[in-house]
A = this chain, B = another copy of it.
Amino acid sequence: MNKGFYAIFEDDQKKLVMIRILTLFTLFFVLFSCKNNPTLDDFEEKNIDKEQKDTVKSTNFGIVIHGGAGTILKKNMSDSLEKAYQEVLEKAIRKGHEILAEGGSSLRAVTETINIMEDSPLFNAGKGAVFTHDETNELDASLMDGSNLNAGAVAGVTRIKNPINLALEVMLNSEHVMLYGKGAEEFAVTRNMELVDPSYFYSESRLRSLKKVIKKEQDELSSVHSASFEDPYSKDSKFGTVGCVALDQYGNLAAGTSTGGMTNKRFNRIGDAPIIGAGTYANNATCAISATGWGEFFIRSVVAHDISALMEYKGLTLSEAAEEVIQRKVPALGGDGGVVGIDREGNVTMEFNTAGMYRAHMNSEGTLNIGIYKK
């Protein structure tokens, strides 16, 4: 044996060590990559303490939803249409309530509840989204987690079946909060989300609404473009956004909002629904809010965050804060609409300054409360 042999032996050992290091590095990388692509399951795994899950059963969890506010009048509503709205509202809120009752997160409850309203043609969100001036559908949505102030939002997407799910993906799996249009859809593809054909959103009744609004615009001989909030099913006009807020058994708040925006909108207009602070806000320190209204006024009033700030800094209750903003501040600018909200104690608000708001609330005892018109 000469020195050369030992050298070879040493080299082999080095190789082995190198291989081991590389294997470890690869394993670490794979693990690390997985951790960087969390799903809602991973989120719950990480955020819900299992022991806590089995022992702590807070009695004050709850969920509130809205399906839009506006001049919703009993006289314009057939019994069958009213029943149809009530059925979807009940189906949606029962879904979220079931998730909460079984110990799921408020984030999941909000997302899956909104999915049911997005999949219904009755509401101006997802399947029932209204048409833009160019006969396309541009959808907006946002979502916020009150436990860590994480948020996700998308605006102007045209091929996403459930925009709230993409907002969730943006929140959990991107470094960003807000993505727009084609870019947001490219991101969806990287997350293996299915894109739907834009024709998925086609609806004859919504198209009739668009043509009605355009005709009205022409009849008024106005050079000023005007988008509108037409209801294709009745003589009402309404802000048809859908939204949900929830408090889970672990004291975590979440809020989400999804919309098709205004009928006849142009210029890639963005409303309040995808704006964190305006249409959606959640903070465990205060409340979770989802708004539905004339978006421009809700952006200028930073509605959702203002309600939270009135609670946090001025000591108002959720009801007082919502009333202050919806009954005084927004109307003072000339705007109208409403909000649903829930606070960390499970107190809720369903405040609106219009003739009606599709809404429902379920508390931890399972008491269901559905409303459409002003009481």
Knowing A223-B33, A277-B275, A314-B314, the reply to whether A184 touches B268 (Cβ < 8 A) is yes
Which residues in window 16-52 of A have CB below 8 A to B? 29, 33, 36
Is the CB of A243 closer than 8 A to any CB of chain B? no
Distance (whole angstroms) from the CB of A31 to the closest CB of chain B: 13
Contact of A305 among B151, B221, B306 (CB under 8 A): B306
Residues of B within 8 A of A355 (CB): none
Contact of A270 among B155, B187, B296 (CB under 8 A): B155
Knowing A174-B267, A267-B174, A296-B176, the reply to whether A302 touches B276 (Cβ < 8 A) is yes
Distance (whole angstroms) from the CB of A281 to the closest CB of chain B: 7
Is the CB of A180 closer than 8 A to any CB of chain B? yes
15 A–B contacts, CB within 8 A, in A order? A29-B221, A33-B223, A149-B301, A175-B226, A175-B227, A176-B296, A178-B270, A178-B299, A181-B181, A182-B268, A183-B268, A184-B268, A187-B267, A276-B278, A312-B313
Knowing A310-B313, A314-B313, the reply to whether A180 touches B178 (Cβ < 8 A) is no
Knowing A178-B270, A305-B277, the reply to whether A149 touches B313 (Cβ < 8 A) is no
Count of chain copies: 2
Residues of B within 8 A of A275 (CB): 178, 275-277
Residues of B within 8 A of A57 (CB): none
Chain B, residue nearest A268 (CB) = B183
Knowing A180-B270, A181-B181, A225-B175, the reply to whether A300 touches B276 (Cβ < 8 A) is yes
Chain B, residue nearest A314 (CB) = B313
Whether the Cβ atoms of A179 and B314 lie closer than 8 Å is: no
Number of interface residues of A (CB under 8 A): 54
Which residues in window 225-259 of A have CB below 8 A to B? 225-227
Contact of A309 among B151, B180, B184, B306 (CB under 8 A): B306
Residues of B within 8 A of A144 (CB): 300
Interface string of A75-111 (1 = CB under 8 A from B): 0000000000000000000000000000000000000
Distance (whole angstroms) from the CB of A26 to the closest CB of chain B: 11
Contact of A296 among B177, B181, B312, B313 (CB under 8 A): B177
Distance (whole angstroms) from the CB of A278 to the closest CB of chain B: 6
Chain B, residue nearest A266 (CB) = B183
Which residues in window 150-200 of A have CB below 8 A to B? 150-151, 155-156, 174-184, 186-187
Is the CB of A269 closer than 8 A to any CB of chain B? yes
CA distance in complex: A180, B271 (Å): 11
